[in-house]
Amino acid sequence: MKLGTLKDGTRDGKLVVVSRDLTKAVAAQDIAPTLQRALDDWKSAEPALRALAERLEKGSAPTAFAFDPTKMMAPLPRAYQWIDGSVFKNHGELMKKAFDTENKVSFPEDRPMMYQGASDEFIGPTDDFVTVEEAWGIDFEAEVGVITGEVAMQTPPDKAGAAIRLVMLMNDWSLRNLIMEELSRMFGFMQSKPASACSPLAVTPDELGPAWKDWMVHLPLRVQFNGSPFGRANAGVGAAFNFSHLISHATRTRNLVAGSIIGSGTVSNADRETGSSCIAERRAMERIEHGAPRTPFMKFGDRVRIEALDAAGRSVFGAIDQKCSALARRV
């Protein structure tokens, strides 16, 4: 089942069900007006949404309309909680080798690294990413996110994955040249991590078929930068922890409410042929190999596209396709 949120002029949009081939959609307001409402009442909403999805596939949903990704918001335009991890070993090792020459940063192997991000706004899949200064080091990060139901404090790793309701792609925008200053203050990310973007659709794990294994998405994330291939790292390869581990770790001292979003962190493979899922990783490799980075961060007008295709070449979540734009200066 594929779910999305249609722009309707409100802050939380309108919940829609989308066909597997991404050609048709139907509003689900008779079941739940918004995705958050459906997550809050998942036990009764899920079977009704699945029945609507079946009618849509059979052509028996009379109010169906053509699906247009440019009219979609993020599946959850705002969420109660957004927690991002960093589970891919290769990404952490590259960053440490390139930048942490004094060995000040450690990557513990017994528990995931996570930070709590801003969840009051998520950017739509084709909406511009707007920021102020190119000098801040604008970078994209392709990753996978899951949306949970309620999860109790101290849920163990072998149980936490059962709380995953939906899976989607994310672009965790970063302002790299602000990160080190914030980390030096030992109080976490704030200005260096603006609003993230999400794919048009969030899908139930069963929609992924065999690509959903061990609580991870085993598909390449295809990243294009200004129309050229940039990366195709597999989101199921090279992770030290899976989503069940991440969710469990997040509940160490707190409950998670329905509608919490958990991210995998930048997808990264040790195989250099797969490319990178962010500019910073490519710059790290250039620093290691050539002594200095050669790839610049993003400029205003640059575009990034992030998508995952199934074994038959069909888009699973729809694409994140965004332009980087400058904030209009106040006079």
The span from the CA of 100 to the CA of 29, in Å, is 51
Do residues 231 and 221 make contact, with C-beta atoms less than 8 angstroms apart?
A: yes
Instruction: Label residue 160 exposed, middle or buried (CB < 10 Å: 0-12, 13-18, 19+).
Output: buried
Q: Looking at residue 173, what is its pLDDT?
A: 97
Q: What number of helices (H) and strands (E) belong to the chain?
A: 7, 21
Architecture of domain 74-326: Alpha-Beta Complex (3.90)
* Tens-digit pLDDT profile for residues 181-202: 887 776 778 889 999 999 999 9
Among 50, 22, 23, 49, residue whose Cα is nearest residue 316: 22
DSSP state of 13: -
**Quick one: tokens of 181?**
């200053």
Q: Looking at residue 272, what is its pLDDT?
A: 85
**Quick one: tokens of 294?**
């050669």
Under DSSP, is residue 283 helix (H, G, I), strand (E, B) or coil? Answer: helix
**Quick one: tokens of 208?**
């992924």
* Tens-digit pLDDT profile for residues 51-101: 999 999 999 999 999 999 999 999 999 999 999 999 998 877 887 666 544
Contacts of 226-230 spanning 24+ positions with Cβ under 8 A:
226/302, 226/303, 227/303, 229/275, 230/275, 230/276, 230/282, 230/304
Q: Looking at residue 331, what is its pLDDT?
A: 57
Largest CA distance in the chain: 64
> What phi and psi values does residue 206 have, to the nearest 5 degrees?
-65, -20
Each residue of 275-286: b (16+ CB within 10 Å) or e? Answer: bbbbbbbbbbbe
The span from the CA of 126 to the CA of 131, in Å, is 16
pLDDT < 50: residue spans in the chain: 100-101
Instruction: Label residue 184 exposed, middle or buried (CB < 10 Å: 0-12, 13-18, 19+).
Output: exposed
Q: Looking at residue 191, what is its pLDDT?
A: 86
Domain boundaries, the chain: 2-71, 74-326
What does pTM read for this prediction?
0.94
